[in-house]
Structure 1
Amino acid sequence: MTVCYTLTIEESEVIQSPTEDSFVGGQPKLPFEHEIPCCRDCGAEQSFFFQVAFPEKHVWCGRSMAVFMCTACVEEETLIPRMLNAPLLGADIPAGFLDDYQTNFRILIFESSRGVLKTTYQERVKFKRISLVETDDPKRNDHKLGGEPNWLLGDETPNTYNSTQRMAFLMQLLEGYMFEIGSDAPQQLKLGLGTVPVPMNKPFYRLFLKNQLYFFGTVDQDHPLVYILTQV
């Protein structure tokens, strides 16, 4: 049976601790040599949304994944991650695609033990602790790591990357989650009338339009890559 962990985002306000490895917002915990990524479209520093440390029985055990996205620009073509120009179920993802599609967002993968708080990063999304609890129901419809994806529109599980590397389901975030921001955080831009960028003027950021998010990763641990699908 596929190992599954429910992912609970704790809503109580707590002060971020350097010992936390899975959390929403606050300051990212990255290897020393990793810089905060910048947007390829506008050059602005991207906003940190969340990171998770994959637990012992997960296929990516010992690794962490940190998710960033630009909130300073918006383009209709990049509201969600670029999709493959091919049937998605059982797809072979072309070589280079998983690097090239990260224009206004960035996924950083690293050994969890090497992460240190980036104290120079100015918090935008409020810090919230993530707790992971193993469950015996791989089909549970929840925020989760591992298990089986709960598709809204039909199965779009990819098969391989570059015809050689098998893809595994990493995690999902349910649709509708809003990333609460601090009062001094810059507003995320959205497309207004005539597709003109305007401030969203909300107390939260949206990650890929709040769509349901499915994260798949290469099983190859030497060069881990992430493929994101969205459904709504």
Structure 2
Amino acid sequence: MIKTYEIEVSDGAQAQDREESFIGGLPIMPEDVAIPNCLLCGAQQTFFFQISFPDEHFWEGKTMVFFSCTSCAKKGYFIPKMLEGQLRDAVIPKLFLDDYQINFRTIIYDTSSGSMRYDYQEKIKYRKILFKKIDDPNLKKNKVGGSPNWFLEDESPSTLDDGTPMFFLMQFLEEYRFEIIPSAPGQAVLGFDKEVEYSDNNYYELFLGNNIYFFGTHYGQPQVYVFTQI
């Protein structure tokens, strides 16, 4: 069993430093990796968070950076594309993982190779992430490692189609809100007439605020499978 770490988010605004796990602010990632653009609208995607995986984790020494578009709202793209057929113990085609990140992006790199990216315009307020090691892998919290807390039935995948095992990386539980800075534009949403509107909330939601589960490859080239339950 992978060690379990509760994700604790700091209170209050802080000046961003070289912390490697945090929400919002400016991302830390390799200089030769481009800030991703949305494949639906072409806008630069919004940086939501990054996790530098803690000690005793399969991905110790690696960091995952997560972006998602907040500039457009199109039916069919509010949550990640789902696999077809049975989801529990599913074998995931690698081509699916290559193609399904349309309006969001995960970037995984060796933590030591990251640099602060000043070519990104901050939108989400910086919050430092602390990891609290916990004994109960089933604790219902935002967490890294342990066991997923399913909202519905177990949808854990099995392997990639090349046989590479998948394991549970982390989760954000429903209705987590990412507070934005005052100058950030509102998040794009669909209005009642199906026209795009922009929220006046002081936060962004990721995938409609649903429970979000992240699974990763056990070895080889890091791959991430992201999906939600409502």
| TM-score band, normalised by shorter chain | over 0.9
- Post-superposition shift, 1:120? 2.2
Does 1:153 find its partner at 2:152?
yes
Identity %: 44
* Alignment-mate amino acid for residue 6 of structure 1: E
**What CA distance in whole angstroms lies between the structure 2 residues aligned with 1:150 and 1:110?**
27
For 1:225, the equivalent position in structure 2 comes to 223
Task: Flag structure 2 segments of 5+ consecutive residues without an equivalent.
Answer: none
For 1:120, the equivalent position in structure 2 comes to 119
* Alignment-mate amino acid for residue 224 of structure 2: V
**What CA distance in whole angstroms lies between the structure 1 residues aligned with 2:194 and 2:100?**
22
**What CA distance in whole angstroms lies between the structure 2 residues aligned with 1:174 and 1:92?**
25
**What CA distance in whole angstroms lies between the structure 2 residues aligned with 1:101 and 1:149?**
22
* Alignment-mate amino acid for residue 223 of structure 2: L
* Alignment-mate amino acid for residue 14 of structure 1: Q
**What CA distance in whole angstroms lies between the structure 2 residues aligned with 1:84 and 1:24?**
28
| Equivalences, count | 230
Task: Flag structure 1 segments of 5+ consecutive residues without an equivalent.
Answer: none
**Deviations, residues 90-130 of structure 1 (Å, cap 9, x unaligned):** 00011211121100000000011111110121110000000
For 1:64, the equivalent position in structure 2 comes to 63
**What CA distance in whole angstroms lies between the structure 1 residues aligned with 2:78 and 2:71?**
13
| Corresponding residue SS for 1:195 | coil
**What CA distance in whole angstroms lies between the structure 1 residues aligned with 2:43 and 2:156?**
32
User: Which stretches of structure 1, 4 residues or more, deviate above 4 A after TM superposition?
Assistant: none
Q: Under a length normalisation based on structure 1, what TM-score does the superposition of the two structures give?
A: 0.97
| Corresponding residue SS for 2:213 | strand
| Corresponding residue SS for 1:66 | strand
For 1:41, the equivalent position in structure 2 comes to 40
Question: RMSD in angstroms over aligned alpha carbons?
Answer: 1.0
For 2:103, the equivalent position in structure 1 comes to 104
Does 1:16 find its partner at 2:16?
yes
Q: Under a length normalisation based on structure 2, what TM-score does the superposition of the two structures give?
A: 0.97
